[in-house]
Structure 1
Amino acid sequence: MLPLVGSNPRPCSLARAAPRGHKESLETHQPRPTLTRGHSERRARHGLPPQLAVAREFARALGALLLGPLRLVAYFLTRRRLEAEVLGDLRSGSPPDDPPALSPPAPELDRGRPLRVFISCAEPSGELHARHLIDALCEVAAEHGLATPTLTGLGGERLDEKGVRRVGDPVAKSAMGFGVVAALPFYLRLLTDAARELRDGRPNLMIAVDSPALHVPLGHIARGYGVPVVHFVTPQYWGWAPWRVGGYRAAVDLALSILPFEPPWFDRHRVRTAHVGHPIQDALARVPANPDPDRCSTLALLPGSRNSVLRRNLPWMLGVVAELRQQFPELRVALPHDRTELEPTVRELVEQAGATDWVDLRFGSLHATLRDCRAAFSVSGTVLLDLLHHRLPTAVVYRVDSKLEAWLAQHVLTVPFFASTNLLVGREVCPEWCFAGDGPRGDVLEALRTLWVDGPERSAAREGLDLAASRLGQPGANRRAAHWALAEAGRERADV
């Protein structure tokens, strides 16, 4: 449900600048010695047989599952303190860290030998990030006179186009949607194959993209074979179940965060972190923004990108918009959607709601539609950052299956908001609701009304969106991530 300091480090160092307003010296933000293994251990050529390494991770996961209830009790006892800490983080966002200097290249980055990189992604969104990161990695390497990296790893067919020799495809499996138990044999085999490649291929670096459920155990395995691990897109442990960060800390050498409030949280939990900015900014840099939403008269309706989310939310949202149209007869409604394979489902639901005459369905034209909209009514998700790009005041909902899920959202999350726009500024810019059943229909309707008409609520929302956009940062996340990854590999090349 929850969908990111400046420094001038010496070449290939990982010094982090103190947060703005912080009086500690740079040295206090150096990685803790206990978190970094020695070079001889890091480049260990031996380790457990792959099957045993995977079995150890499976046992570790079972142990965590058994300890879950105790950790939940401990969490509730400290929840208020944790919430206060996270709220402070949300209000102290920082710009991306300056990437390490690679000119002149570190001696460990041999110009003649290509880096051997194991790159892994487990879902379509992660695969997209991985593809862009590979492009940036090759570009940065070439700019510094380094050979093009040799790539192996896990991912979908689209990685083939980037020259990756794949040893498994978790992306295709994730798209099939099997339950955890049914998919367990597949993932055990996948981890075993990956472990064998990490042991025998001895890559200089493993880059894992998102998907901590797969990459935390795989990171443990890689480090056991002496392979340093960089994780791109830090997990949202700050949002719920924060006790998981201990296992994460042991699984990665460097975490690359994409949201500006994440570095202080991970610093506090002793995870080596560099903030690189959000990769969506790289894509949005090429997208013309809405020049003036105030001149428009169309409401964007965004009901989600998954079939189950669509079916839960779209009929309810259409009912609310139908009531809004009674107050504003001139209001036009556009439903843009980039996933054309969901067109039959969307058309079916719109027809069932009797809204065919007043909902303009537009498939494959998200940003072209948003450029002509005045406001939005959206399900929570990454699309909120697309709406932020166009500065559209937005009411956000997330309708869940049961009252238990709604209760958990209110009592288990450590953040006061779930909409990414609100998280970026640490206050409610976009009114949001998570609920089961009929929900707060009247409250949502009133929020949409105040965001639609000119007035203080709409003006405040526009100002908040400007602040959120400024905190999201500038484009260049993929290049910054590539720089940090090369620097981390350079730290380890001496013992190859």
Structure 2
Amino acid sequence: MRIAMVAGEASGDLLASHLMRALRVHLPDVQFFGIGGPRMEAEGFDSWWSAERLAVNGIVDVLFRYRELLGIRNGLVKRLRAEPPDLFIGIDAPDFNLGLEEKLRKSGIPTAHYVSPTIWAWRGKRVFKIKRAADCVLCLFPFEPVLFEKHGVRAHFVGHPLADEFPLKPDREAARELLGIPKAPKVVALLPGSRNGEVSRLADDFVATARILHERHPELRFVVPLVTRATRHLFEEAIRRADAQELPIRILFGHSREAMTAADAVLVASGTATLEAALLKRPMVIAYRLASLSYHIIKRLAYLPYVGLPNILGREFLVPEFIQDAVNPAAMADAIEKWLNDRTACEALAERFDAIHHELRQDNAARAAEALLPLLRRR
């Protein structure tokens, strides 16, 4: 069997690497190729282009790089039509993958889309494009398949890989010991994002929030896990701009999970990190800013009153959100302080997060592989 894949960004690379391993249980000699990242390559993936070439943030970024992305997609279509795989799997990156899947499916190549586009949040009409593009959709969240089935699209809930990976009961003491954090002081983790644009738009407000909290609670400590030298530099510049070198802020290279596990509360940019914080049963406050044009386009097309994954999964505002112009250090400091002072509310929130964790814990990779086997058996 020959399976083509396209994964964009680190999250898609991780999902695809786990899926490759699970498929090999059923197909030991299967070959994988297309566009992937280092985790996929470590599993034997033949990467024709790097996944980094597909990494974009927001509509404006897509517009600036449209010609480059279109050239990659056209080149991939031509090559896959010349040497048809037994299955094509697009992992996330819907703006790139759905058009690619539609072209390949018209050529007789079975296609699957792994990670449902957020038709429940905005751009719901994409369901019609998905229907043309994919023979089946693999969904990470339990409420998604019914939305597709209404339109005659085969969809399977396969659970979320992070729910399998994260322990049901996180060990705060072990995380603090690993990071060298004393047991006594309360800790707030600051996660301003993984991309340069995210950090540049939020760093000043996160530093200002930390300053307000420290003025009210001098014993507080702050940890800031950042994944690249560039994002670390951006956050350090924000500290210098605020003349806040006296704040007890410790910047970490990576270790975001340990930082959140060790924390009493988390201030976090909207994205996958909010789901990680929920799986770690941590009270949080969510903040986010987009480029102005991207935000106004998305706002006009949005269906839900919330953007954070914990609130979407809970179908209510389980945790506060501060989005775009609502990002305000004083208000965010107040929201963090409420979590720090209300143990009963934190325990009730942890119970809700525990229920979400159990619902998403489905042995994701194995279920995804089993959902794809019928498409391969046809070949």
Is the structural similarity TM-score above 0.5? yes
1:447 to 335, 339, 342: 335
2:165 maps to 1:283: yes
The structure with more radius of gyration: 1
Q: Aligned ranges for residues 378-397 of structure 1 at < 5 Å?
A: 378-397=268-287
1:174 — aligned with what? 54
2:109 maps to 1:227: yes
Q: Which has the higher contact order (CA 8 A, sep 6+)?
A: 1
1:377 — aligned with what? 267
**Which SS does the other structure have where 2:219 is aligned?**
coil
Give the drift of 1:410: 4.9
CA distance in structure 1 between the aligned counterparts of 2:295 and 2:361, rounded to whole angstroms: 35
2:219 maps to 1:330: yes
Amino acid at match of 1:216: L
Distance 1:405 1:341, change over 3 A: closer
**Which SS does the other structure have where 2:215 is aligned?**
helix
Distance 1:291 1:414, change over 3 A: farther
CA distance in structure 2 between the aligned counterparts of 1:407 and 1:191, rounded to whole angstroms: 28
Amino acid at match of 1:125: S
Distance 1:343 1:446, change over 3 A: closer
Amino acid at match of 1:130: A
Q: Aligned ranges for residues 11-90 of structure 1 at < 5 Å?
A: none
1:10 — aligned with what? none
1:153 to 9, 21, 34: 34
Amino acid at match of 1:279: P
2:31 maps to 1:164: no
2:191 — aligned with what? 302
Distance 1:267 1:408, change over 3 A: same
Residues 281-328 of structure 1: CA deviation (Å, up to 9, x unaligned): 343359954369998611111111111111111111221221122222
Q: Quote the RMSD (CA, aligned, Å).
A: 2.8
Distance 1:162 1:434, change over 3 A: same
User: TM-score, structure 1 length as denominator?
Assistant: 0.68
Amino acid at match of 1:375: A
CA distance in structure 1 between the aligned counterparts of 2:297 and 2:70, rounded to whole angstroms: 30
CA distance in structure 2 between the aligned counterparts of 1:395 and 1:120, rounded to whole angstroms: 33
2:235 — aligned with what? 346
CA distance in structure 1 between the aligned counterparts of 2:44 and 2:294, rounded to whole angstroms: 42
2:353 maps to 1:465: yes
Contact in 2 for aligned 1:118/1:207 (Cα 8 Å): yes
Residues 404-452 of structure 1: CA deviation (Å, up to 9, x unaligned): 666555543111210001111111111112122x744443332212111
2:361 — aligned with what? 474
1:133 — aligned with what? 19
CA distance in structure 2 between the aligned counterparts of 1:228 and 1:413, rounded to whole angstroms: 31
**Which SS does the other structure have where 1:362 is aligned?**
strand
**Which SS does the other structure have where 1:397 is aligned?**
strand
**Which SS does the other structure have where 1:231 is aligned?**
strand
2:364 maps to 1:486: no
Give the drift of 1:258: 0.4
Distance 1:453 1:118, change over 3 A: same
1:398 — aligned with what? 288
Aligned length: 369
Contact in 2 for aligned 1:258/1:275 (Cα 8 Å): yes
CA distance in structure 1 between the aligned counterparts of 2:314 and 2:234, rounded to whole angstroms: 35
Contact in 1 for aligned 2:168/2:279 (Cα 8 Å): no
Distance 1:147 1:283, change over 3 A: same
CA distance in structure 2 between the aligned counterparts of 1:225 and 1:421, rounded to whole angstroms: 40
1:245 — aligned with what? 127
